[in-house]
Amino acid sequence: MNKLMRVCATLILAATTTLAQAGEVEVLHWWTSGGEAKAVATLKKMMEAQGHTWKDFAVAGGGGEAAMTVLKTRAVSGNPPAAAQIKGLDIQEWARIGVLANLDDVAREENWDQILPPKIAAIMKYKGSYVAVPINVHRVNWMWANPEVFKKAGARIPTTLDEFFTAADKIKAAGFFPLAHGGQAWQDATLFEAVALTRLGVEDYEKAFVTHDMDVLSSDKMAGVFATFQRMHQYIDPNSAGRDWNVATASLIQGKAAMQIMGDWAKGEFTAAGLKAGKDYICKPAPVTQGMFTFNVDSLAMFKLNNEANTKAQKDLARTILRPEFQKIFNQAKGSIPVRMDMDMSSFDACAQASMKAFKSTSKSGGLTPSFAHGLATTSAIQGQIFDVVTNFFNDPDADPKVAAQQLADAVRSAR
Ligand code: GAL
């Protein structure tokens, strides 16, 4: 065989090996806003670069409720996707019914136990084995502000609740919407969660939403949370019912609204619009929550498959997600921070750098607490009960905060 023929033979062999190993990954997620779509495109690209086929299974709807309903239908019919965005305690529930794949071999090869914070690794494991891969850490207790609107209204960006209401009054009087918001249950719960953290502090927040202490849930303090939450309603756009969160973020970008209390996926929208942190928009912890961090970890749980090539593609997907290259580009687009604690943050924006610093310091100080609005503190059954009480309360101007606190306790009790 001459040299040219030998090279050709090697190339053909390489191509057929790649083809034989190339599989398809179907990935269920709800990342359909501008920033989210850019982020998920980075994963698609990296999978395609490895020869695999990406089958997009996007189900629109912030917070993922619609996606979870669709996933259940697919799973019941015995045809789940290779991977699905399933978070927090729900990972355990899916693993318990025996449908999730074991990722321990990839985890061992890639040192997941060494690179992940132990608290997050534990969420991804069922009976000591990895069944899901974490993608990022979102901080939920953020407040986003449009500095131009503040300037026009002569208001200061608030760090306390009193300052918040003073600023909101000025902004409203100047003809802007103080608070960008979308009237959907999960968004109401996201705002309520920030107020709860503000008024209860981490210890009572956890008693209420993690360990479900009935005394705290029905307490006067909790009634105070509902009262503050109710007071905020007058500062949102009256046409916000049903509005998507990213449309609310867009009203901030367009200079119609001044603030939004929302997780840092909102930053993905600013980034996608070409805006610069600290100049075009400001990030501050939600009032009074400096030194606290409500965390929300996106993760893909992997389903058992019976096709060898697709299983290989699924493992490559899991492997790719925790590689530094992906952690960087995905999280820069998504607004979150890497879930690997060993990343160089110098190319991230100031808000992400602040978030990583706060994540690390609150891990030690005890200010790190799971977000119930995003499925990290409770199961989706309890979460659903909380959402109902919170959203019904928010939409009824005559609702009584004391009654709501009792309803909250009753609702949580009924779902346990
Ligand atoms: C969260 C999810 C984020 C983001 C947000 C809005 O629950 O963790 O990744 O997508 O919903 O859709």
Structure tokens at 316: 């490559």
Rounded CA separation 122/131 (Å): 11
Q: Whose CA is nearest to atom 8 of ligand 1?
A: 298
- The radius of gyration of the chain from alpha carbons, rounded to an integer in Å, stands at 23
Q: What is the CATH number of domain 139-295+361-415?
A: 3.40.190.10
Measured over the CA atoms of residue 374, residue 375, residue 378 and residue 380, the dihedral's sign is positive
C-alpha 217 – ligand 1 centre gap (Å) = 26
Q: From the CB of 139, is ligand 1 less than 6 Å away? A: no
Report pLDDT digits (tens) over 91-126. 999 999 999 999 999 999 999 999 999 999 999 999
Q: Whose CA is nearest to atom 2 of ligand 1?
A: 63
Rounded CA separation 365/270 (Å): 30
Looking at the predicted structure, is the pLDDT value of residue 356 above 60? yes
Confidence of residue 5 (pLDDT cuts 50, 70, 90): low
Report pLDDT digits (tens) over 180-237. 999 999 999 999 999 999 999 999 999 999 999 999 999 999 999 999 999 999 999 9
Rounded CA separation 195/374 (Å): 15
**Same fold for the domain at 24-136+296-351 and the one at 139-295+361-415?**
yes
Q: From the CB of 29, is ligand 1 less than 6 Å away? A: no
Rounded CA separation 106/81 (Å): 19
Contact 142, 285 (CB under 8 A): yes
Q: Residue 21 has what pLDDT?
A: 79
Q: Residue 19 has what pLDDT?
A: 52
Looking at the predicted structure, is the pLDDT value of residue 255 above 80? yes
Q: From the CB of 296, is ligand 1 less than 6 Å away? A: yes
Which of 188, 261, 298, 378 should be mutated for ligand 1, with most atoms under 8 A from CB? 298
Confidence of residue 16 (pLDDT cuts 50, 70, 90): very low
Q: Whose CA is nearest to atom 1 of ligand 1?
A: 63
C-alpha 401 – ligand 1 centre gap (Å) = 28
Domain parsing of the chain, residue ranges: 24-136+296-351, 139-295+361-415
Q: From the CB of 125, is ligand 1 less than 6 Å away? A: no
pLDDT cut 70: percent of the chain above it: 95
What's the whole-number average pLDDT of the chain?
A: 95
Report pLDDT digits (tens) over 269-324. 999 999 999 999 999 999 999 999 999 999 999 999 999 999 999 999 999 999 99
C-alpha 340 – ligand 1 centre gap (Å) = 19
Report the relative pairing of strands 125-126 and 293-296 from DSSP bridges. Answer: unpaired
Class of domain 24-136+296-351: alpha beta
Q: Residue 23 has what pLDDT?
A: 98
Model-level pTM?
0.94
